Amino acid sequence: MRGWSDRLTDLDTEIKKIDTDLNSLYKDIEKRYEGTGASTAKIQAVYADEAYDLQIQRNSLALEQQSLATKYNSRLQEAQQNFSMRVQQHQLEMQEKNQYMSEL
């Protein structure tokens, strides 16, 4: 599970980097068209075109992150249930031992 946790952290870092790149790209496009009289719609269209590949990459990473997080949470829940069952089993064994000792 530790490997999954590390991968989730890596994915989060990659997604944040792409978000930063997307924000920088938009600012660069705004600067490029500053003073040209280009409309907001024109700037957004250029951004959509230039950001397309980054957005696809970001969405792909986000899907992988979501899938891995679901698997990680499922495994974690399974481990918690197993631990809880072992604790209950141990408690029952201790009760049996205590009962046996009191009978002696």
Per-residue pLDDT of the chain (104 residues; tens, 9 = 90+): 568 889 999 999 999 999 999 999 999 999 999 999 999 999 999 999 999 999 999 999 999 999 999 998 999 999 999 999 999 999 999 999 999 888 87
In a domain, 67, yes or no: yes
| Residue-level pLDDT at 103 | 84
This prediction has a pTM of 0.70
User: Following DSSP, what letter does each residue of 4-59 receive, concatenated?
Assistant: HHHHHHHHHHHHHHHHHHHHHHHHHHHHHHTTTT--HHHHHHHHHHHHHHHHHHHH
Domain interval for residue 35: 2-79
In a domain, 102, yes or no: no
In a domain, 28, yes or no: yes
In a domain, 53, yes or no: yes
Q: How many domains does the chain have?
A: 1
In a domain, 25, yes or no: yes
In a domain, 85, yes or no: no
In a domain, 51, yes or no: yes
| Residue-level pLDDT at 1 | 58
In a domain, 60, yes or no: yes
> Which residue bears the tokens 């046996």?
100
Is 51:29 a contact under the CB 8 Å cutoff?
Answer: no
Using a 10 angstrom Cβ sphere, with 0-12 exposed, 13-18 middle and 19 or more buried, the burial of residue 29 is: buried
Tokens coding 31: 């600067």
